[in-house]
Amino acid sequence: MMRSVGTLTRADLAETINRKLGLSRAESLEMVEAILEKMCEALANGENVKISGFGSFVLRDKKERIGRNPKTGVEVPITPRRVMTFRASQLLKDRIANG
């Protein structure tokens, strides 16, 4: 049972590993941290992260462009940046849609 309502936490993931694999709580949390660190490292190195049956974390480089301040209407340059998006797999989309 998840401790927090509406949010899945590192501790919740570690608890599941603890129950399913029988690792200690400390080992389970270490495993979660190692997985998240590997994902962060890959993204920081410009690699996309794909988890089969779940989805992909995709990086995109955006060029400099002109934006507009919605309050004043003044045009301002938006600096180039790298953004990350998440694309859910079809399997995940189907599970969400079917409750």
Are 98 and 54 in a shared domain? yes
Are 59 and 98 in a shared domain? yes
> What pLDDT does residue 2 have?
47
Are 11 and 40 in a shared domain? yes
- CA distances for 27 relative to 3, 13, 34, 65, angstroms: 19, 12, 10, 46
Residue located via tokens 């401790």: 3
pLDDT at 1 over 80: no
Q: Which range of residues forms the domain containing residue 33?
A: 7-45
Are 52 and 39 in a shared domain? no
**Span 23-76, pLDDT tens digits:** 999 999 999 999 999 999 999 999 999 999 999 999 999 999 999 999 999 999
Are 52 and 95 in a shared domain? yes
pTM: 0.76
> What pLDDT does residue 63 have?
96
